[in-house]
Amino acid sequence: MAATLTIRNLTSTPLELKKLEHYEAPQSSQHDYGGGLANIGSITKSFQTLLSNQTQPTGEQIAENAQSFSSEDVSVHTEPFKTSKTDLKGIERPNEILRLTFETDGERYRLDVPSPTKHSTTLVPLTPNPRHAYTAVFLPYKSHVSIFSSANLSSWMQELKDETPLSALSIPGTHNSPTHHRALPSVRCQVASIRDQLENGVRFFDIRVQPEDPEDPSKDGLILVHGVFPISLSGNKYLRDLINEVFSFLDDHPSETLIMSLKREGPGTHTDAQLSRILRDHYAGDTNRWYTAPHIPTLGEARHKITLIRRFALEDSLKNEWNGAGWCVDAESWAYNTPNDLCRSGDICVQDFCEVLETENVDKKIEYSTQHLGRAAGAKAHLPGDANVQDGQSPPKQPFYLNFLSASNFWKVGCWPDKIAEKLNPAIVDFLCCKHNELEGIEGQFVGDGGTGIVVCDWVGKDGDWDLIRAIVGMNSKLWLREHN
């Protein structure tokens, strides 16, 4: 029996479904819906997924003169950030396409699902000079449509106000960010270059470095590593080149910031104190390009800069920086392999359960990841003008909710980073689309700002698939609405 249609509106505008049509798919665009939930990875890749820079306009697979075999005028009204479960028939057979016509502010937009491509699908405006832009995800095995506001991934932060605490944002990140080079399979965690990640919305980098000449304070060499291994089999790669790439991007997109978590790894006898000195003297001394104060900034304070999170101890002299408060956002103390830990500084709340020793443990990793998404969703940012924050008083601290989707087991092929990501990434897309920020068992009820925190991913951008990144960015809509009301 076919699932009935469910519509989730994750935009800041009300939407009304006005017409539902069923078409026969052209022979070249037939889809296979087999496999059910067990094949969620292949399903979310085969059908339209979430908000990509390479979105496809809807309707190309249906000829303009095509005749629907079923058509009905309907009225299904869905308020912003609400879900409507209907009694309307969804996909019933493999060679079928649904055409949905929505209306808002007197304008109509059309969506055909499922798409013939794996890329996201923008809704086609049916009136000239439309005021809105929407992108949809359709999960065919549930007949579930989620609609997001479209955004420009290369400069998505420009839509949010300067006063916004950076920790209130839903921020896509990558784990061992520069590991897209040819490397050991257990070392490589990414497929896209640094610039491609930035252009496609990633705003958090997880970086591990090894001091090259730790005993010589005049040397600035920091080798990019993953554990004890170099990130490339073709020779050392260096932090300096990565930083130059980031600054080039920020110069082109001054509305953005890049949050960078730095940790010391690699072989040798170097120390955290040596690393902190090298960074302060040779990299992060310019406060016009780096945010190094020991507290979470507002977006305005961080724009056009790298915001530095340190996972290393400081040399004693650096503890006196910023009038004795220290240096950089402090993430020195988080627990290893933790499902939920608040760092001593109170600035970082992290999920980093990383030892997935057997493939069966992936389900536990998914559970911990979705639980941490729930923690982030329940947080509500304190914005200027909030009634519960008096003038001159500091609002309660909202930490970065740092959520690592990464995990691996060096000794088991099925638990290498790419294999874990094949299962975890589609599961998180599904969760964000269907369940995120919705109270269990209470239809349409939401809490907090509905954010995700910083979600740190492996193997995003493979074959142009930025679905997960775009889903995360899309979860800033409720915060945006609060800022602009």
For 101, residues 6+ apart whose C-beta sits below 8 A from its C-beta are: 17, 18, 19, 20, 21, 108, 109, 110, 111, 126
Known active-site residue 175? yes
- Kindly state the average pLDDT of the residues 179-185: 92
The β-bridge relationship of strands 204-211 and 222-226 is antiparallel
| pLDDT value of residue 41 | 41
pLDDT above 60: residue 30: no
Find the helix or strand (DSSP H, E) in which 218 lies: none
> What whole-number distance in Å separates Cα of residue 447 and Cα of residue 436?
10
Higher pLDDT, 107 or 35: 107
pLDDT above 60: residue 34: no
- Kindly state the average pLDDT of the residues 420-430: 93
| pLDDT value of residue 59 | 43
- The overall average pLDDT reported for the chain is 88
Q: Choose among 99, 5, 103, 92: nearest CA to 61.
A: 99
| pLDDT value of residue 454 | 98
What is the pLDDT confidence band of residue 9, given thresholds at 50, 70 and 90? very high
pLDDT above 50: residue 53: no
pLDDT above 90: residue 211: yes
Q: What is the pLDDT of residues 135-174, one digit of tens each?
A: 888 888 889 999 999 878 999 999 999 999 999 999 999 9
| pLDDT value of residue 301 | 98
pLDDT above 60: residue 56: no
pLDDT above 60: residue 444: no
* Selection from 30-34, 347-351, 433-437 with the highest mean pLDDT: 347-351
> What whole-number distance in Å separates Cα of residue 115 and Cα of residue 137?
9
| pLDDT value of residue 50 | 35
Task: Find the catalytic residue in 22, 175, 372, 436.
Answer: 175
Known active-site residue 484? no
| pLDDT value of residue 441 | 42
Q: Which residues pair with 28 in a beta bridge?
A: none
pLDDT above 80: residue 63: no
- Kindly state the average pLDDT of the residues 292-300: 98
> What whole-number distance in Å separates Cα of residue 123 and Cα of residue 145?
12
pLDDT above 60: residue 37: no
pLDDT above 90: residue 410: no
Q: What is the pLDDT of residues 334-372, one digit of tens each?
A: 899 999 999 999 999 999 999 887 877 899 999 999 999
What is the pLDDT confidence band of residue 43, given thresholds at 50, 70 and 90? very low
pLDDT over 90 for what percent of the chain? Answer: 72
| pLDDT value of residue 27 | 62
Task: Find the catalytic residue in 226, 270, 382, 436.
Answer: 226
pLDDT above 70: residue 319: yes
| pLDDT value of residue 321 | 96
- Kindly state the average pLDDT of the residues 76-86: 95
- Kindly state the average pLDDT of the residues 217-229: 95
> What whole-number distance in Å separates Cα of residue 205 and Cα of residue 358?
27
pLDDT above 70: residue 118: no
> What whole-number distance in Å separates Cα of residue 139 and Cα of residue 178?
32
pLDDT above 50: residue 380: yes
| pLDDT value of residue 393 | 66
| Tokens representing residue 395 in the block | 């609002």
- What are the φ/ψ torsions at residue 96 (nearest 5 degrees)? -125, 145
| pLDDT value of residue 388 | 61
